[in-house]
Structure 1
Amino acid sequence: MHDEPAPRRRLPSPHRRGFLATASGLAGLGALTLAGCGGGTSGRGDAKGDGKPRRGGRLRAAFAGGGASETLDPHLGNLFADVARAKALFDKLADYGADLSARPRLARSWEPNAGLDRWQVTLRDAAFHNGKPVTARDVLYSYRRIADPKRAFRAKASLEPIDLTASRAVDRRTVEFVLKRPTAEFPNILAAFGAYIVPDGAEDFDRKPVGSGPFRLVSFAPGRSTVLRRNDAYWDGAPYLDELEFIVANEESARVNALLGGQVEYAHELNPTTARAHERGGRMEIVRLPGSTMQAFAMKTDRPPFDDKRVREAFFLIADRKELIDGALSGAGQLGNDLFGKGYEYYPAGLPQREQDLAGARKLLKQAGADGLRVTLDTSSVAAGFTEAAAIFRDQAAKAGVKITVRNGSKDSYWSDILDSGTLCSYRSGAMPIESHISQRLLTDSTTNATKWHHRDFDALYQQAQSTKDDKARAAVYERMQRRLYAEGGFLVWGFADWIIGTAPAVGGVDREAPANTLGWARFDKVWLR
């Protein structure tokens, strides 16, 4: 890796800390047979190895895929497999570190004006696969393509604060972004999911994608296999691997069997039961990415019974969080404390850990006139552990005199159904900055405000944070906001689930700290075969 100067905005040191992919599995098993050609053993050396990176070989990675509709357009990706392919082929201006703070990638530095509504971004010396340099024109083209109102690119909402008409290329390696309002967390926009930089005018991605990433395309068979080759000219140092192959295996059992059978060296997204069964068997290495997914129940604060903050506090006290983690996550997680982003930048770690207090919950319910409360809890098998957690919480609530009826919803429409209907539901979230969680889910006008947290004074605090240039002062505003959520918010955050990956013993260099959706997750340019 090249030694690069830090951006002029000082970045904090990292601390420990998904979206869904589902499909049928038989097509993936067929792809595994095809993938055997080329092998994953060349250049490995001794399987036990000496711990030092080695060059050579092809690593085969099994992911759940999206079938024949898969694309290499980095602005269209929705599945984990899409993102893993995109980060192998392309780069963003920034990406998220393990603590979800923005870290520079194609951007060498960024600097705001005094009003935080203009940011100057300086690009590093990097080139696309065709040898042409990455320039300010490429950056502006990429962002304007993403923001095109006629297209449905996922990063479009993230780029909304930028006035892309007024933004300009100062010179070949400098972009001046003009914003619609002060935005202290502008680097989070540069790191946004799907905000990849492509060459000016690029459109033909599936046939001949040209990126600036660590690997170049060899072949792409949607729903089956993608083969990539090392980019020796990569700005962050050439990958150790000669080749990387992504193989579609939609069912977890197919990914596990392929790993155990030597057909792949990396299996993405394993469940806790699988991990426990194979952790000490010696046939695979289990990698746990701590705290990758927030697990919660969402209470709608704009309607009975949760429009009374005493009822919400009572539910905080009903939860036995360890029992929920043990029962719903097979113990593969950390205790939640009713706030998003444990271990992320701005998380207020000093708040006392909530514990079950059934007597306290009964007292609060009585004060609220909610003795004998009856509530329906909406859940679904749309996410692992949802139905199990709902049943466990139902039994915990009964001990406080609350009768919960569990209602199972459709996997296909669950996330849209729970936004406006019902009063209590199962909820989860993958990794994102705390600032993004607040802006997307907790402001009065947020489009995914599942708890209906509508408070203009809270909105004003968010704008105050975004207008505050000093890092310490801004952190103090975020802490004030989160203390209020801890006391009376609508998210009962009971745990943070580990993300689990399986690898062959011969694989080295897998990042063990990076939550899903961050720079270190599914990053294969720093992985090697022993």
Structure 2
Amino acid sequence: MTDVLTGGPFPSRRDLLRYGALGGATLLGGAALTACGGAQPGKPEQGAGKEQLRYGAPKRGGVLRHGMTGGSFSDTLDPAKGMNALDTARAGALFDNVWSPDADYRIQKWLAEEYSSNATADVWTVRLRKGVEFHNGKTLTADDLIHTIRRTLDPSIASPYAGSLAMIDPKQLRKIDDRTVRIGLTSGFVPLPEAMSTFVYVVPVDFDPHRPVGTGPFKYQSFQPGRQSVFTRFENYWRPGHPYVDELHIIDFADDTSRLNALKTGQIDIVDGVPYPLASTLSGETGIRVVKSSKAAIEAFGMRADVAPFNDNRVREAFRLIVDRPALIKSSVLGYATVANDLFAWQDPAFDRSLPQRHQDLDRAKSLLRQAGHGDGLEVRLTTSDLLSGMISGAEVFAEQAKGAGVTVHVDKVDAGTFFGSQGLNFPFAANIPSTGNILISATYTDGPGSTANSTHFHDAEYDTLFRQAIRRTDDAQRTELIHQMQRIQYERGTFIIPAYIDILDASRGVSGAEPEVGGMPYYRYGNLWLA
């Protein structure tokens, strides 16, 4: 029986959108626009930002302009192939997913009306919503979902997202009736809905990427790779009353400074991922609102467990004790973060919150390094890149703090091409941005058995056994206990230093309908936004 982990990268939602590198998903991974059509709004932002109080009820009409960076002439409208931020933004406007995360990153039914699995979670039954239309008037059927899954897995398509569906056996896809599909897996996989909530945009059986037709909130009108895309409201969208705006324009900018200037002067309406050093330039700007999604990304350093000195867990523990987490947050991300405890997926209900918070302990770190044979000092290289605001400065702060434990850290700054190139999984010590998905999905690509995106080369027989048990365990309490055991292993002998959960800042002028969310993407839920 094939392992469910074929090693396909499962990037986090925000990261892919901001840094657009599915070749780069081997280390980082991103934020695909699974629900740009928008999940139902979550809890309102506290304080002065409450949408309904400030702007009133939703309004229809107008043109929404989103300024982004990262496009190129190789941009695509094919949701199975898109790799940069603008590709995935367009996909979220045009298409829908079967499941989608809400503002609290709880997986909700989207195109699925009902779903269930058998007792071993290796057979799933999905019933699609009734009366959902594609932009050309065709009704969504089971054939379209089957075609979408097979197309994503088709080697000739070469989808970078095939790995997220690798647990599905295409020979075990069965149409039960016009709206019902039975999905057979190679083995049990409880988090299938989450795996399909990020990259599996449903397309019709006759899909043409040059004239794309989806079920999303907006219809294709025009596309200029590397420059601009124009979409119009789909009047028969299955969510009554959505979307609100008449048109959506996604505009490519060369850099963040030009984007923010365009927002200030009213040339565009929304920008995503405002760099922290530039956020202050928005303060005092009349009519501009900044939405902060707390703890929406992860800052981390990965240590390769199969090469010296990090093949000795005493060294890995020492490096975790070197970090003064509050000081690193203050210096590297200007305070826009929350102290973390070397574990990802804080938002998962199964997250183990009983583990003691780590604090800087240089005496203990030096003792561990002496035990590991590095009493005369240790010298290492830390590879990083300008991929996330604060990523380089975080590495530099760590290097300065390491001096207190007698460790010399040389910070190697490389460009994105090098960081995500052929050596991307081979840096002994490197900055990292783990998945912001829930625990089992994050483990699927980060450190679980069989993952080719395991940049730290972490292999632990006990951890792997627990993971394989957890993904098959349908009882929530039993699965949570297995996950807690996995996290204790990560905490005690894992390969990540995770000092901070980072905030994401998005800004807009005269736009309402966006709320802070765990996924850090309020302004990508285009179907929820209106012009105030």
Matched residues in 1 for 2:156 and 2:105: separation? 31
Distance change (3 Å), C-alpha of 1:430 and 1:439: closer
Paired amino acid for 1:473: Q
Name the structure 2 match of 1:105: 110
Distance change (3 Å), C-alpha of 1:345 and 1:73: farther
Q: How does 1:493-508 map to 2 (within 5 A)?
A: 493-504=498-509, 506-508=510-512
In the TM superposition, what whole-angstrom CA distance separates every residue of 1:285-320 from its partner, at most 9, and x where no partner exists? 111222222111111112221122121111111101
Q: How does 1:25-40 map to 2 (within 5 A)?
A: none
Name the structure 2 match of 1:4: none
Name the structure 1 match of 2:221: 218
In the TM superposition, what whole-angstrom CA distance separates every residue of 1:4-32 from its partner, at most 9, and x where no partner exists? xxxxxxxxxxxxx9126569xxxxxxxxx
Name the structure 2 match of 1:52: 57
Matched residues in 1 for 2:437 and 2:254: separation? 25
Name the structure 1 match of 2:98: 93
Name the structure 2 match of 1:421: 426
Structure 1 counterpart SS, 2:417: coil
Q: How does 1:262-341 map to 2 (within 5 A)?
A: 262-341=266-345
2:486 matched to 1:475? no
> Any conservation in 2 of the 1:515–1:521 contact (CA below 8 Å)?
no
Name the structure 1 match of 2:452: 447
RMSD: 2.1
Shift of 1:382: 4.1
2:249 matched to 1:245? yes
Matched residues in 2 for 1:49 and 1:292: separation? 25
Matched residues in 1 for 2:94 and 2:250: separation? 12
Matched residues in 2 for 1:216 and 1:303: separation? 51
Name the structure 1 match of 2:467: 462
Matched residues in 2 for 1:319 and 1:131: separation? 57
Shift of 1:151: 2.0
Paired amino acid for 1:215: F
Q: Given the two structures, how large is their TM-score scaled by the length of structure 1?
A: 0.87
> Any conservation in 1 of the 2:296–2:503 contact (CA below 8 Å)?
yes
Name the structure 1 match of 2:530: 528
> Any conservation in 2 of the 1:290–1:515 contact (CA below 8 Å)?
no
Q: 1:401 aligns with which of 395, 402, 406?
A: 406
Matched residues in 1 for 2:440 and 2:403: separation? 36
Paired amino acid for 1:377: L
> Any conservation in 1 of the 2:103–2:516 contact (CA below 8 Å)?
no
2:493 matched to 1:488? yes
Structure 2 counterpart SS, 1:92: coil
Structure 2 counterpart SS, 1:302: coil
Structure 2 counterpart SS, 1:157: helix
Matched residues in 2 for 1:114 and 1:447: separation? 29
> Any conservation in 2 of the 1:292–1:498 contact (CA below 8 Å)?
yes
Name the structure 1 match of 2:123: 118
Structure 2 counterpart SS, 1:164: strand
> Any conservation in 2 of the 1:255–1:268 contact (CA below 8 Å)?
no
Structure 1 counterpart SS, 2:526: coil
Matched residues in 1 for 2:59 and 2:187: separation? 48
Structure 2 counterpart SS, 1:19: helix
Name the structure 2 match of 1:76: 81
Paired amino acid for 1:115: T
2:258 matched to 1:254? yes
Name the structure 1 match of 2:140: 134
Shift of 1:346: 2.4
> Any conservation in 2 of the 1:77–1:194 contact (CA below 8 Å)?
no
Shift of 1:205: 2.4
Name the structure 2 match of 1:163: 169
> Any conservation in 2 of the 1:106–1:123 contact (CA below 8 Å)?
yes
Distance change (3 Å), C-alpha of 1:220 and 1:48: farther
> Any conservation in 2 of the 1:418–1:450 contact (CA below 8 Å)?
no
Higher mean alpha-carbon deviation, 294-303 vs 78-87, is at 78-87
Runs of 5+ in structure 1 lacking a partner?
Answer: 1-16, 24-46
Matched residues in 2 for 1:194 and 1:186: separation? 12
Matched residues in 2 for 1:430 and 1:303: separation? 23
Shift of 1:396: 0.5
Distance change (3 Å), C-alpha of 1:311 and 1:459: same
Name the structure 1 match of 2:516: 512
Name the structure 1 match of 2:372: 368
Name the structure 2 match of 1:177: 183
Distance change (3 Å), C-alpha of 1:349 and 1:219: same
Name the structure 1 match of 2:5: none
Matched residues in 2 for 1:419 and 1:205: separation? 31
Distance change (3 Å), C-alpha of 1:481 and 1:362: same
> Any conservation in 2 of the 1:344–1:434 contact (CA below 8 Å)?
yes
Paired amino acid for 1:496: Y
Name the structure 2 match of 1:236: 239
Q: 2:202 aligns with which of 197, 200, 205?
A: 197
Structure 2 counterpart SS, 1:68: coil
Matched residues in 2 for 1:324 and 1:418: separation? 27
In the TM superposition, what whole-angstrom CA distance separates every residue of 1:227-260 from its partner, at most 9, and x where no partner exists? 2221222111221112211111131011101101
Matched residues in 2 for 1:475 and 1:220: separation? 46
Higher mean alpha-carbon deviation, 288-297 vs 252-261, is at 288-297
> Any conservation in 2 of the 1:382–1:414 contact (CA below 8 Å)?
no
> Any conservation in 2 of the 1:252–1:269 contact (CA below 8 Å)?
no
Identity level (%): 35
Distance change (3 Å), C-alpha of 1:357 and 1:418: farther
Paired amino acid for 1:140: I
Matched residues in 2 for 1:164 and 1:290: separation? 39
Name the structure 2 match of 1:8: none
> Any conservation in 1 of the 2:292–2:504 contact (CA below 8 Å)?
yes
Distance change (3 Å), C-alpha of 1:328 and 1:417: farther
Structure 1 counterpart SS, 2:406: coil
> Any conservation in 1 of the 2:380–2:410 contact (CA below 8 Å)?
yes
Shift of 1:356: 1.0
Q: Given the two structures, how large is their TM-score scaled by the length of structure 2?
A: 0.87
Shift of 1:482: 0.7
Shift of 1:128: 0.9
Name the structure 1 match of 2:39: none
Q: 1:143 aligns with which of 149, 164, 173?
A: 149
Higher mean alpha-carbon deviation, 471-480 vs 74-83, is at 74-83
Paired amino acid for 1:415: F
Matched residues in 2 for 1:390 and 1:158: separation? 30
Matched residues in 2 for 1:119 and 1:53: separation? 37
